[in-house]
């Protein structure tokens, strides 16, 4: 009986650490999603490249804080996933090119974000017969659904054949 209580206590601590990590990683995921949107927005000139650079800086600063110990108990898998954010530097440079490969860029962002969510292991060793366990599984589902929605929002942000300002000018009788 004592062993079972110690085991349950240990599991509760692990779940609490996972949820705490998920909160911080969730904030980082939102920053990555904003960075991805800023990349597309800068390309279609609806925002400045300085805004995109600021989004990159914000993500990099957040990663540095997390790896520096801002959250106790980050798993080694989360630390590895955080390290892969540096791999985005290649597509970050491509995003500011004249003719970026948007499929490659958005795919790399999506893979990085999915890697962060997967590294949290929110569904691992969770007792779904308890309310707390179901909430943890729900948190995993929310993170995944939010990323899917964010990624699909980019489909709506396509560069028109002619800049919008020119399309409007062509419609206004002159």
Model confidence at 168, pLDDT cuts 50, 70, 90, reads very low
Are 63 and 98 in contact, with CB atoms under 8 Å apart? no
* Helices 102-120, 76-83: crossing angle, 10 deg rounding: 170
Domain range spanning residue 76? 2-171
pLDDT at 129 exceeding the cut of 50:
yes
8-state DSSP, 87 = G
Domain tally for the chain? 1
End-to-end distance of the chain based on CA atoms, in angstroms?
86
**CA 135 to the chain's CA centroid:** 20
Please list, in sequence order, all residues whose beta carbon lies within 8 angstroms of the beta carbon of residue 52, skipping any fewer than 6 positions away: 35, 38, 39, 41, 42, 95, 96
Condensed to tens digits (0 to 9), the pLDDT of residues 53-84 reads 999 999 999 999 999 988 888 889 999 999 99
Are 122 and 85 in contact, with CB atoms under 8 Å apart? no
């Amino acid at each position: 009986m004592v062993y079972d209580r110690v085991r349950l206590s240990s599991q509760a601590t692990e779940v609490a650490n996972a949820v705490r990590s998920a909160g911080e990683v969730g904030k980082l995921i939102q920053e990555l999603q904003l960075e991805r949107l800023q990349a597309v927005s800068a390309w279609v000139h609806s925002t400045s490249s300085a805004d995109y650079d600021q989004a990159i800086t914000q993500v990099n600063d957040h990663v540095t804080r997390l790896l520096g110990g801002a959250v106790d108990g980050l798993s080694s898998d989360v630390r590895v996933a955080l390290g892969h954010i540096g791999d985005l530097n290649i597509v970050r440079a491509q995003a500011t090119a004249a003719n970026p490969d948007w499929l490659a860029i958005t795919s790399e962002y999506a893979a990085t974000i999915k890697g962060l969510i997967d590294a949290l292991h929110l569904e691992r060793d969770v007792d779904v017969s308890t309310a707390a366990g179901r909430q943890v599984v729900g948190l995993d589902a929310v993170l995944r659904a939010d990323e899917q929605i964010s990624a699909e929002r980019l489909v709506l942000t396509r560069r028109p054949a002619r800049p919008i300002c020119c399309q409007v000018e062509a419609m206004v009788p002159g």
